[in-house]
Amino acid sequence: MDDRVGTTLHTGLLLAVTGTLAWLSGLPLLFPSLGPSAFVLALFERSEATRPRRVVGGHLIGVVAGLLAYHVVAGDSAMTVAYEPGSLEGLRLATSGVLATTATAGGMLATDTRHPPACATTLIVSLGLLSTVLEGAFIVLAVAVLVGVHRSILLATN
């Protein structure tokens, strides 16, 4: 099979599993940063970039950094409404996002868990879109499922 077709189908299958779980459970197991993670797993199937420690660890750092920044800086604001230009709420959310992304980048570099899509996860959390501890746990669970399905695909195709 053409590598482009295989990568495309692999990406779709990874997201189909988490999407189906999200649909059947009603839990937030499908979110924007999962797409780039699925693509990285499918494109670089057996590389350092797809090691579970990196993928799950990067997202875990993103969740923790996002939760800390959001709850310390942004409180109960969320990037789901338009704020007035120059508003305090907008400033708090922007600050939360910047701090969380900076902490995520530093945390991933310090722990050798570099996974760029985790910077999107930290924004999802720090901007108040999935900002509870339980939602953060669901993010990490969904990433772990994604990695598990990826590894199962690799085992089945060997």
At 4-58, the pLDDT tens digits run 999 999 999 999 999 999 999 999 999 999 999 999 999 999 999 999 999 999 9
The residues spanned by each domain of the chain are: 3-156
Note the pTM of the prediction, 2 decimals.
Answer: 0.94
Helical ranges in the chain per DSSP H: 3-25, 34-43, 52-69, 88-111, 117-126, 133-156
pLDDT tens for residues 58-102?
Answer: 999 999 999 999 999 998 888 888 889 999 999 999 999 999 999
